[in-house]
Amino acid sequence: MAWRARLLGCRPAITFVTLGELNKWMHLRSWALPRRERLEKWMQPLPVFPGTPKVARVWGEISAYAQRRGRPRPQNDTWIAACCLAFEIPLATLKVKDYEDFVEYEGLQLITE
């Protein structure tokens, strides 16, 4: 798997949006305390890319461009793409289709399988 080789030696991180989505997911599914604690333990060492003014500006720009192209994207996917673009880091994802427009038009770099 080529994506594993590209990730070797990289430090995984998540965006503030991903952190929110994971927390929402576990509460919607009413996870029991032990399972929530395992997720929290897994996430604890991961750096979290914050929402900064630069991220907000990039989000506004790429959201507007996508809408003008007639392909508005889901807000959370757009926030994740904006974080990666603002911090100049690639996005490792299995949801390639959700980010194709940002790759083609904004230069987002993906690491996929």
Check if the beta carbon of residue 112 is closer than 8 Å to that of residue 3.
yes
Alpha helices, DSSP H only, in the chain? 2-7, 16-28, 33-43, 53-68, 75-87, 96-101
Question: Does residue 10 carry a pLDDT above 80?
Answer: no
Tokens of 70: 């007639």
Tens-place pLDDT, residues 26-45: 999 999 999 999 999 999 99
Please tell me the pTM assigned to this model.
Answer: 0.88
DSSP state of 94: S
E strands in the chain: 14-15, 48-49, 91-92, 110-111
